[in-house]
């Protein structure tokens, strides 16, 4: 009896792999040949991923019988990757405490506000990929799933970019993630006080504070600031627009409040105020005011008592000074805000110089080197700002006697009130009613 060599095939369950086991011929049967192998493969329908080099080897290899060989290998299918969102802002707000070089924690710096500029990307879409189908050794297609797309979390004051791949801010403000979407709030709302629950606030839009700004905290906003309560002693507030304080500013001599437009406050006490346009309040007590516009103290008590009020254009009040003749200085004309900035920079440079002196006395260490570098950088920046102000000063500052600018109007000016027009000083020796003071031909005239 003669039997030719006989290939026997085994397929994996997913039909991606095919193995062959060849039985030897019997009697006068034919040995295994390439043609016999290809014929057997064709009969079994195995046509994809066949190893032709293995077939050539098996046709002449003496050790080809009773061994299992991987003769064909299919192509597995690959599913596409799902789309994904890469966030540039956090979806959940965490209170992160900052630790300095000395392992000290600033509990006021909670970093709760995430500012975004108009047109800035908030998050970006990673698009899904298409699936890549596979094939079995029987040349059958294995389908593949394409990745699922993910929608951009578009919320209020955001828009999707033209290419559809990014979410961008329509306005500058504060980024929040809520209700499964990012939104930009141009107004940052504080439902209570600015305290340890909020930390210091620095915001690119408007800030509305329903409570107080407590002592030791700072609020900075590129837009307007509205405070429903008081600004307490030892706090710092700076508005890029208008500042409104419903109940007033109660300082202790260290409180600094700045506005790049106007300030409206119920009262101002023991504070330093910087305002580039106009200031309106019911009462000013023992405060230093720098105003490039008009200071209006006509409502309520309408009293300016103690301290120094410097306005470039006009001071209008009901009462200036007091019956006790406490010293109250009214300065008019000039460039109050630039002088205020120069004073601040001088104070900063003095403090930095003192800090450098203390550091120089310490032993050398990595911490000392780091602190010295930071202080030198701050000092260089302060010197540059001072130079810029010095360069700008000749263009804006003229002697008020030459410009005849500045005017004081009040119903009562008590003795002890001092008027300054540049280097000219006038001290009131007695009470004056319906008083108007101004510079006429280089001299202070009180009417």
Let me know whether 181 and 193 are in one domain: no
Q: Which domain holds residue 18?
A: 6-73
- Contact at 8 Å (CB) between 57 and 37? no
Q: What pLDDT, in 10s, does the model give residues 303-347?
A: 999 999 999 999 999 999 999 888 999 999 888 988 888 888 998
Joined together, the tokens standing for residue 3 give 């039997």
Say yes or no to pLDDT of 238 above 60.
yes
With cut-offs at 50, 70 and 90, classify the pLDDT of residue 394: low
Say yes or no to pLDDT of 111 above 70.
no
Name the one residue in this structure whose structure tokens are 């493969």: 41
Does residue 78 belong to any structural domain of this protein? no
- Share the mean pLDDT of the chain: 88
Q: How far is it, in rounded angstroms, from Cα 198 to Cα 109? A: 9
Say yes or no to pLDDT of 399 above 60.
no
With cut-offs at 50, 70 and 90, classify the pLDDT of residue 273: very high
- Contact at 8 Å (CB) between 209 and 227? yes
- Burial 386-419, CB ≥16 within 10 A → b, else e: beebeeeeeeeeeebbeeebbbbbbebbbebbeb
What is residue 400's predicted lDDT score, i.e. its pLDDT?
Answer: 45
Does residue 394 belong to any structural domain of this protein? no
What is residue 186's predicted lDDT score, i.e. its pLDDT?
Answer: 87
What is residue 140's predicted lDDT score, i.e. its pLDDT?
Answer: 95
Let me know whether 198 and 220 are in one domain: yes
Let me know whether 213 and 320 are in one domain: yes
Joined together, the tokens standing for residue 274 give 């910087």
Does residue 223 belong to any structural domain of this protein? yes
Does residue 291 belong to any structural domain of this protein? yes
Does residue 1 belong to any structural domain of this protein? no
Does residue 350 belong to any structural domain of this protein? yes
Let me know whether 112 and 156 are in one domain: yes
What is residue 235's predicted lDDT score, i.e. its pLDDT?
Answer: 93
Question: Considering the chain, what percentage of its residues have pLDDT values greater than 70?
Answer: 92
Let me know whether 252 and 382 are in one domain: no
Looking up residue 153, the CATH number of its domain turns out to be: 2.40.50.100
What is residue 97's predicted lDDT score, i.e. its pLDDT?
Answer: 57
With cut-offs at 50, 70 and 90, classify the pLDDT of residue 42: very high
158-160 sheet: strands from edge to edge: 84-87, 121-126, 166-169, 158-160
Average pLDDT on 222-244 reads 92
What is residue 221's predicted lDDT score, i.e. its pLDDT?
Answer: 93
What is residue 396's predicted lDDT score, i.e. its pLDDT?
Answer: 52
Let me know whether 179 and 191 are in one domain: no
What is residue 404's predicted lDDT score, i.e. its pLDDT?
Answer: 53
> pTM surpassing 0.85?
no
CB count in 10 Å sphere of residue 140: 12
Average pLDDT on 25-47 reads 90
Does residue 136 belong to any structural domain of this protein? no
What is residue 401's predicted lDDT score, i.e. its pLDDT?
Answer: 45
Let me know whether 438 and 412 are in one domain: yes
With cut-offs at 50, 70 and 90, classify the pLDDT of residue 422: confident
Let me know whether 178 and 228 are in one domain: no
Let me know whether 366 and 383 are in one domain: yes
Let me know whether 281 and 325 are in one domain: yes
- Burial 162-184, CB ≥16 within 10 A → b, else e: eeeebbbbebbbbbbbeeeebbb
Say yes or no to pLDDT of 272 above 60.
yes
What is residue 98's predicted lDDT score, i.e. its pLDDT?
Answer: 63
What is residue 108's predicted lDDT score, i.e. its pLDDT?
Answer: 59
What is residue 148's predicted lDDT score, i.e. its pLDDT?
Answer: 93
Say yes or no to pLDDT of 402 above 50.
no
Q: Collapsing DSSP states into helix, strand and coil, what is residue 370? A: helix
Q: How far is it, in rounded angstroms, from Cα 167 to Cα 184? A: 11
What is residue 393's predicted lDDT score, i.e. its pLDDT?
Answer: 65
Does residue 161 belong to any structural domain of this protein? yes
Contacts of 160 (CB under 8 A, 6+ apart): 152, 154, 166, 167, 168
Say yes or no to pLDDT of 110 above 90.
no
Q: Look at the chain and report how many structural domains it folds into.
A: 4
Let me know whether 112 and 65 are in one domain: no
Q: How far is it, in rounded angstroms, from Cα 220 to Cα 257? A: 10
Q: What pLDDT, in 10s, does the model give residues 150-203?
A: 999 999 999 999 999 999 999 988 898 988 999 998 888 899 999 998 999 999
- Contact at 8 Å (CB) between 332 and 346? no
Let me know whether 164 and 215 are in one domain: no
- Which burial class, exposed, middle or buried, applies to 143 when counting CB atoms under 10 A from its CB (0-12, 13-18, 19+)? exposed
With cut-offs at 50, 70 and 90, classify the pLDDT of residue 99: low
What is residue 359's predicted lDDT score, i.e. its pLDDT?
Answer: 87
Q: What pLDDT, in 10s, does the model give residues 204-223?
A: 888 999 999 999 999 999 88
Joined together, the tokens standing for residue 431 give 């009470």
């Amino acid at each position: 009896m003669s039997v030719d060599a006989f290939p026997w095939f085994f397929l994996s369950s997913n039909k991606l792999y095919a193995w062959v086991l060849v039985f030897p011929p019997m009697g006068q049967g034919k040995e295994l040949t390439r043609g016999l192998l290809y014929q057997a493969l064709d009969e079994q329908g195995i046509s994809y991923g066949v190893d032709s080099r293995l077939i050539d080897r098996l046709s002449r290899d003496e050790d080809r019988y009773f061994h299992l060989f991987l003769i064909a290998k299919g192509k597995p299918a690959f599913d596409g990757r799902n789309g994904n969102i890469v966030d540039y802002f956090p979806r959940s707000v965490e209170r992160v405490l900052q630790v300095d070089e000395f392992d000290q924690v600033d509990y006021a710096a909670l970093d709760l506000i995430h500012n975004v500029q108009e047109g800035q990307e908030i998050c970006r879409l990673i698009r899904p990929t298409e699936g890549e189908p596979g094939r079995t050794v029987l040349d059958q297609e294995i389908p593949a799933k394409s990745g699922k797309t993910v929608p951009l979390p578009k919320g209020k004051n955001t828009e999707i970019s033209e290419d559809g791949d990014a979410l961008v801010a329509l306005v500058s403000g504060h980024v929040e993630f809520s209700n499964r979407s990012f939104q930009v709030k141009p107004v940052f709302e504080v439902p209570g006080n600015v305290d340890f629950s909020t930390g210091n606030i620095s915001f690119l839009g408007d800030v509305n504070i329903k409570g107080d700004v407590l002592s030791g905290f700072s609020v900075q906003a590129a837009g307007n600031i509205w405070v429903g309560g008081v600004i307490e002693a030892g706090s710092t507030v700076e508005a890029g627009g208008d500042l409104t304080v419903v109940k007033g500013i109660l300082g202790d001599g260290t409180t600094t409040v700045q506005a790049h437009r106007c300030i409206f406050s119920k009262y101002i006490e023991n504070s330093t105020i910087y305002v580039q346009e106009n200031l309106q309040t019911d009462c000013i007590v023992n405060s230093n005011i720098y105003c490039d516009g008009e200071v209006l103290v006509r409502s309520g008590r309408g009293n300016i008592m103690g301290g120094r009020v410097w306005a470039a254009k006009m001071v209008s009040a009901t009462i200036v000074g007091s019956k006790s003749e406490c010293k109250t200085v009214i300065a008019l004309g000039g460039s109050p805000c630039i002088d205020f900035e120069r004073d601040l920079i001088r104070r900063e440079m003095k403090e930095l110089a003192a800090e450098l002196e203390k550091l120089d006395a310490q032993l050398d260490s990595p911490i000392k080197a780091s602190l010295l570098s930071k202080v030198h950088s701050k000092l260089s920046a302060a010197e540059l700002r001072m130079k810029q102000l010095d360069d700008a000063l000749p263009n804006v500052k003229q002697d008020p006697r030459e410009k005849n600018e500045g005017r004081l109007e009040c119903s009562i000016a008590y003795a002890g009130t001092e008027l300054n027009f540049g280097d000219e000083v006038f001290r009131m020796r007695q009470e004056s009613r319906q008083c108007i003071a101004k510079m006429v031909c280089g001299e202070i005239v009180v009417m």
